[in-house]
Amino acid sequence: MVLFLLTFFLLYGGLHFYFFLKLRAAFAPGAPAQIILIALLVLGLTAPLLVRALERFGIETLVRLMSWAGYIWMAILLLFFSVAILLDLFRLLVYAAGYVLHTEIRAILPAARTLFLLPLVAALIIGGYGFFEARRIRTERIEIRSAKIPKEIGKIRIVQISDVHVGVMVRGERLAGMLRKVHEAEPDLLVATGDLVDGQLNSMAEAVAQFREIRPRYGKFAVTGNHEFYAGLDESIDFMNKSGFTLLRGEVATVGGAIDLAGVDDPTVRRFGGQGGLSDREVLSRGGGRFTILLKHQPLVEKDAPGAFDLQLSGHTHKGQIFPFSLITSRFFFFHSGNFRLANGALLHVSRGTGTWGPPIRFLSPPQITVIDLMPE
């Protein structure tokens, strides 16, 4: 935790310092204005931590206000930096060209005020668009035919949700919009591949009632993501149970007599005192030779696992959530988003996620539910 906080303050604090330098160069505010600006930037820097602290006291209105303000500011600041750093690179190239050519070409450079306002306006426009994109849930469809699906059972429709992050930012009408998409898909089976919850689980009765209205004929199943442990595992399990989900932790459930549904814990379990349980292969070996689906939050594939399952459903990456940060997350996760054919014909599907973490904004990474139709060959 100490290392995390240190890294957080160094990186996020650095962005705030960069913004301060840009604004000061653009407008040269006086000492009183700079003091007010620094105070506001310190508040923006500490907002995510203040939210977590205030949640424990159950101050609902203040927590929601701080969350919305703090996380929207986070998105705007990240987008501002992304555009501003490109302009700084352009300035560096101009200076380098002038040095090489032994000529003065700095006149083509924008003024300091332009170098501040242009990224800020771009960040506000992109952030505004991303706010609405985060609510425009796409339905991605996959059709799989397999001899393992009995003909007498016919088509089985599975709907996957992932990374919903129910909590302060995702609740009420926003959650209802997600579940309307699920209801419209008419699933036979609903699966949640981790991070169903986020933060302190206060005042969740409404969310429980919304989930309980979804009643697929083969039930609802879930696995843990990293945020289930951050929110408190016992509280997360209680929420999932009340919402009608069966939590799979190193277990296999046979669904409809045709599917073996295997679920494993997120690796974060080890950081919270757990042992991590069995390997994927060991869990999958408990199946009965039926069409096998592995539910696993992070899109990681164990070396000897693909031959033991037919389909793996994962999430976690959000596809970066806000471009250009997808360029960074794609470096950490080889299976970043979409469908991937694995060894022995197995398929891995990585969801972009249904909700949002932190900023209620997505850019070039629209949220999704995934509809998988399993049919006899």
Q: Among 110, 133, 156, where does a domain finish?
A: 133
Tokens standing for 49?
């931590």
The neighbouring-strand residues paired with 251 are: 263
DSSP codes, 323-358: TTTHHHHHHH-SS-SEEEE-GGG-EEEE---SS-SS
Q: Which of 70, 72, 73, 86 is nearest to 118 (CA)?
A: 86
Length of the chain: 377
Cis-peptide, bond into residue 187, ω within 30° of zero: no
Q: Among 104, 133, 162, where does a domain finish?
A: 133
pLDDT at residue number 274: 67
pLDDT at residue number 51: 86
Host domain of residue 191: 139-376
Residue 204's alpha-carbon distances to 151, 244, 315, 355, in angstroms, are: 41, 14, 23, 16
Q: Are residues 14 and 88 in the same domain?
A: yes
Q: Are residues 170 and 306 in the same domain?
A: yes
Q: Are residues 102 and 30 in the same domain?
A: yes
- Distance of alpha carbon 187 from alpha carbon 196, whole angstroms: 18
Q: Are residues 343 and 199 in the same domain?
A: yes
Helices (H) and strands (E) in the chain, counts: 10, 12
Number of structural domains the chain divides into: 2
What's the whole-number average pLDDT of the chain? 93
Q: Are residues 299 and 363 in the same domain?
A: yes
Q: Are residues 153 and 247 in the same domain?
A: yes
**Cα dihedral angle (83, 124, 45, 321), rounded to 10 degrees?**
-70
Model pTM greater than 0.85?
yes
Q: Are residues 152 and 128 in the same domain?
A: no
Q: Among 106, 133, 160, where does a domain finish?
A: 133
- Distance of alpha carbon 326 from alpha carbon 362, whole angstroms: 11
pLDDT at residue number 201: 65
Q: Are residues 125 and 161 in the same domain?
A: no
Q: Are residues 128 and 209 in the same domain?
A: no
Which CATH number does the domain housing residue 256 bear? Answer: 3.60.21.10
- Give pLDDT < 50 ranges for the chain: none
Q: Are residues 225 and 363 in the same domain?
A: yes
Q: Are residues 46 and 194 in the same domain?
A: no
Q: Are residues 85 and 174 in the same domain?
A: no
